[in-house]
Amino acid sequence: MTVLLDERVPRTLDRLVQQLQDDAFRGARVEAWLFEGATRRRAAEQQLAAVGVRARLRSAYKPLVHFFLEDVDVADLRRATIRYPVCEAADRKRFRIESYPLAALLVGAETQFLPGSPALSYHVDLEYQDRHTAAHEVAAPNRIREDPLGRHTLSPSGWLKVAGSRGGLRDVDQPLETEFEAIFRKIVGAVHAHPWGAAEPYFEQLVVRADIPAAEWRLPYAEECLSTGEALHEDVYFSLLEALKHHAGRPADDRTARPGQIVPDIRYTGGEPRVRVAVESFDTAEPSQPAAPLDEAVGPLSLGQVYEELSALGGRPFSAISRQGRAAAGIYRAGARPAIVVTAGQHANETSGVVGALRAARRLAATPDAHFAVIPVENPDGYALHRRLCMTHPRYMHHAARYTAFGDDLQSRSTEPWHEKGARVEGQRLGGAALHINLHGYPSHEWTRPLTGYLPHGFDSWTIPMGFFLIVRHHRAWADRAADLVARVTERLACIPELVAFNRAQLASYRAHTGELPVPIYHDVPCRVSEDDRSPTPLVLVTEFPDETAYGDLFVLAHTAQMQTVLAAEEIHASHGA
């Protein structure tokens, strides 16, 4: 084991409270923005009031949403007009997206977002049922940070304002580096500075443990939760992946880099924050988990159950072995109908496709002449990591489990040795399928990177959920069949009323915060169709259900939509003939 960093980091809130109790601050008005939960901020305000300091401690993360949660009585609100900052250093829609999901939270009120000035504050006009009005300026403290790749990003920042002290202090209005920001800076700095050498992979796993103050607020809308811990997990994972790609001389959006497995381990502490970064051997432990009835599964299956369900299907088994020695397992059944290949779990934190693939395969196995190969978990190492990470945080999206234990996206592998991708190659070879149905998911709630520009770099269009979504890629000669597939699959999906209602609600809140969706919508399902001759199969249908962190009824809806897509596509493909 090599320890790159192991430090305690003072908690900013504690330091601030201690500092402000000095006589010099008596009578002062203090405003500070911190990455702390509301309960702790209110308690600190009271502690300061007792010594004559008027302090208002605000959230540096999503300050506008916190303003509405903490400062506005929304019960009698009739209309909210929000002018959001538009400045050169950030995407035009950045601050409108950061105010998500306000449009859905302000039930019964009309919410309007308008582009405002470059100043980093929201101007909020409120009108109540009794026609009285109120206007507020809500600061959004941000500063430009340079990341190890040399990119400059405008990112949320701690801030301190002090005015009117009777102790003769000068007024203060400046950034305040919080423990949340310091921990991130230290992690990225330590990994950037380490001599990794030239040969990938650099490690088995790089474990990043951060103990931070808890700041979680579950919102009364869909799966939304304001969580600085989850946001830190995401930013640490992607920033380190980018830093290690940079080290290898690869572009930031490259998916073939193989640094090893990066594992952020975020914990909440009431005490002193701490950060530790270490290179370790693989942890291949798998938590035990009871089996669930497949059709009614309310959460991800265990890997053991996946293997059992698969072998119960019959057919000819095949598999390929991952870096950690797990099987990417599939079965193949020959039949007279045109062949299809069904895969899921390429990105292993997208778990509804796994259930959907198995449910569809059960039905296909009982269909005379159906001809198919199915691989329900293509990335078993990522899947095992996801099961492990969910033991601590079941409602984090855990993109650290997205790629393989090498750190790459298995789909991007274009040469042997294939490792786990060998299962897909074999599944495609066995039946010579012309249609590949590739089941995916994406976050069911907002995905942010608050320390590197807020919007997730390279994934900006997936920040806010937009319902169950289809992507079709086809070879040039297959354009007509692709168009027919989209029209008829979505027609079938429209027979699931819960799916239609779900998609309409998600698309409405998506539009409120980002404007029109830039893809056509068929039967309430957005579909992106494009010509692409690179795939070995001439027709590829990718599903995208916002399933990351979905449980219960939503998870059942997710795998039902995945299953119905496979069954509809198989039938339509069969109707096209060989």
Positions in the binding site for Zn ion (CB under 5 A): 347, 350, 440
Q: Report in angstroms how near the CB of residue 353 gets to Zn ion at its nearest.
A: 8
Chain-centroid distance of CA 44 in Å reads 32
Buried b (16+ CB within 10 A) or exposed e, 361-389: bbebbebeebbbbbbbbbbbbbbbbbbbb
**How far apart (Å, rounded) are the C-alpha atoms in residues 402 and 381?**
10
Instruction: CB nearer to Zn ion: give 93 or 398.
Output: 398
Beta bridge partners of 155: 143
Instruction: CB nearer to Zn ion: give 40 or 347.
Output: 347
Instruction: CB nearer to Zn ion: give 424 or 440.
Output: 440
For 10, the token pair is 């003072």
Q: Report in angstroms how near the CB of residue 509 gets to Zn ion at its nearest.
A: 22
For 244, the token pair is 């290690």
For residue 339, the 8-state DSSP code is P
* Rg of the chain over all Cα atoms, to the nearest angstrom: 25
Angle, nearest 10°, between helix axes 38-49 and 12-20? 10
Instruction: CB nearer to Zn ion: give 181 or 350.
Output: 350
**How far apart (Å, rounded) are the C-alpha atoms in residues 538 and 578?**
12
Q: Report in angstroms how near the CB of residue 59 gets to Zn ion at its nearest.
A: 31
Q: Are the beta carbons of 446 and 464 closer than 8 angstroms?
A: yes
Q: Report in angstroms how near the CB of residue 542 gets to Zn ion at its nearest.
A: 8
Q: Report in angstroms how near the CB of residue 402 gets to Zn ion at its nearest.
A: 7
Q: Report in angstroms how near the CB of residue 350 gets to Zn ion at its nearest.
A: 5
**How far apart (Å, rounded) are the C-alpha atoms in residues 497 and 503?**
10
Instruction: CB nearer to Zn ion: give 223 or 350.
Output: 350
Using the Cα atoms of residue 183, residue 187, residue 193 and residue 194 in order, give the sign of their dihedral.
positive
**How far apart (Å, rounded) are the C-alpha atoms in residues 578 and 574?**
7
Q: Report in angstroms how near the CB of residue 442 gets to Zn ion at its nearest.
A: 7
Instruction: CB nearer to Zn ion: give 258 or 440.
Output: 440
Q: Report in angstroms how near the CB of residue 1 gets to Zn ion at its nearest.
A: 32
In order of 52, 266, 534, 549, the CA distances from 396 in angstroms are 40, 10, 34, 6
Strands 274-280 and 205-212: antiparallel
Instruction: CB nearer to Zn ion: give 315 or 443.
Output: 443
Instruction: CB nearer to Zn ion: give 100 or 442.
Output: 442
Sheet bearing 2-8, strands edge to edge: 2-8, 274-280, 205-212, 261-268
Instruction: CB nearer to Zn ion: give 190 or 529.
Output: 529
Asked if omega into 101 is within 30° of 0 (cis), the reply is yes
For 153, the token pair is 């990003």
CB atoms within 10 A of CB 208: 28
Residues 6+ apart with CB under 8 A from 202: 196, 244, 259, 260, 279
Instruction: CB nearer to Zn ion: give 45 or 378.
Output: 378
CB atoms within 10 A of CB 75: 10
SS3 content of the chain, % helix, strand, coil (to 5): 35, 25, 40
Chain-centroid distance of CA 179 in Å reads 23
Q: Report in angstroms how near the CB of residue 179 gets to Zn ion at its nearest.
A: 33
Q: Report in angstroms how near the CB of residue 296 gets to Zn ion at its nearest.
A: 24
Instruction: CB nearer to Zn ion: give 440 or 449.
Output: 440
Q: Report in angstroms how near the CB of residue 479 gets to Zn ion at its nearest.
A: 24
